[in-house]
Structure 1
Amino acid sequence: MQEYIDLGHMKAIQGKTKEMECCHYLLHHGVWKESSSTTKLRVVFNGSQRTSRGVSLNSKLHTGANLLPDLGDVVSRLRGYRFVFTADIEKMFRQILVDERDQNLQNILWRFNVNDPLLSYRLQTLTYGLVCSPFLAIRCIRQLALEEGHAFPLAVPVLLEEIYMDDRSTGYLLHWTQLLQKS
């Protein structure tokens, strides 16, 4: 949770604000993954937890269309390359800021020490555990391709066709020495 604060992905809520009249608190818990070498403990947010009125945040959010390319097409396209590589978009959801007007739906209670009082925090980025987050993340990548594609034309097909969630798989048809000769 300290990393969330340090990276600006979460901020403390100071006192009561007008926007707190319409807010939502997410339940969360830690997941320990012994086999992970980078993130042994990660936080999971539960947008599906129902309130006393029987509704959840996820039940009120629009899921959005499935913008992912067909996984079979992504894998088939890789077979046509002479050299392939894969990459991961680190903290993909947390790279995307949520509009301030909507951040009040992503509040949590947290304390770093059992003796400290519970404090309210607001998540400022897309939150894993909300049904809209996968759509919004892919939609942001597509918008990036539209807005900046003119400056990076070789990246456009990769962004539009060769990213599956936060994984990028692409390649080169030519030998790397041929690529250097062309540049």
Structure 2
Amino acid sequence: MGVSLNALLLQGPDLANNLIGVLLRFRTEKVALQGDIESMFYQVKVPLKDRNLLRFLWWPNGDMNSEPEVYRMTVHIFGATSSPSVCNFALRQTAQNYGNQFEPQVAETIFEQYICRRLFSIDRIRRKGNIVSRWC
């Protein structure tokens, strides 16, 4: 029996916002909205030097008698012990590095985020040009 990848990975710090705080801020205005970062873990690249640790075998057409093909993940995988911490760090670092190039709401999103979900509220829904059409 081999060794599990998760047994060798460090969990890293818990960078997720406090869920109670996120939920309280979620209902400060009249209209509550929710969005998510699509495939969040797949948005963050694994460094080249670490990609061999994420190798997996694939048997074409499910034929277990044939020679398997070897692949390497280039992005973080769902279910890895380290993925939530790494991806939340990447999100925060990106907002810190580039947030000033966008509207002030970009920096605020960090406090509205819980893992890959964004929970926020607005005072009213307008047809054009509001935060709903820009973010969702």
TM-score norm. by structure 1 comes to 0.63
Asked if the contact 1:67/1:135 (under 8 Å) is kept, the reply is yes
Q: Return the structure number with greater relative CO, CA threshold 8 A, min gap 6.
A: 2
* Residue 108 (structure 2) aligns with: 157
Q: How far off its partner does 1:176 sit?
A: 3.2
* Residue 104 (structure 1) aligns with: 52
Asked if the contact 1:106/1:122 (under 8 Å) is kept, the reply is yes
Q: Show structure 1 runs of 4+ deviating over 6 A.
A: none
- Distance in 2, matches of 1:61 and 1:132, equals 6
Q: How far off its partner does 1:78 sit?
A: 1.5
Q: Say yes or no: does 1:127 pair with 2:89.
A: no
- Distance in 1, matches of 2:67 and 2:4, equals 26
Asked if the contact 1:82/1:175 (under 8 Å) is kept, the reply is no
Structure 1 regions of 5+ residues with no counterpart?
Answer: 1-49
- Cα deviation per residue 1:104-143 (whole Å; 9 max; x = unaligned)? 0000000231344211111110011211000011111100
Partner-residue secondary structure (3-state), 2:61? coil
Structure that is richer in helix per residue: 2
Asked if the contact 1:87/1:169 (under 8 Å) is kept, the reply is yes
- Distance in 1, matches of 2:60 and 2:86, equals 30
- Cα deviation per residue 1:23-68 (whole Å; 9 max; x = unaligned)? xxxxxxxxxxxxxxxxxxxxxxxxxxx62xxx43222222111111
- Distance in 2, matches of 1:120 and 1:61, equals 21
Q: How far off its partner does 1:83 sit?
A: 1.7
Partner-residue secondary structure (3-state), 1:142? helix
Q: Say yes or no: does 1:176 pair with 2:126.
A: yes
Alignment match of 1:73 (pick from 17, 21, 32): 21
- Distance in 1, matches of 2:14 and 2:37, equals 19
Larger radius of gyration: 1
Letter in 1 for 2:77: T
- CA RMSD, aligned part only? 1.9
Count of aligned residue pairs for this structure pair: 126
Asked if the contact 2:27/2:121 (under 8 Å) is kept, the reply is no
Alignment match of 2:94 (pick from 130, 138, 144): 144
- Distance in 1, matches of 2:62 and 2:95, equals 46
* Residue 35 (structure 1) aligns with: none
- Distance in 1, matches of 2:54 and 2:67, equals 20
Aligned ranges 1:76-91 → 2 under 5 Å: 76-91=24-39
Q: Check 1:175–1:91 CA distance in 2 against 1; reply closer, same or farther (3 A cut).
A: closer
Q: Say yes or no: does 1:95 pair with 2:43.
A: yes
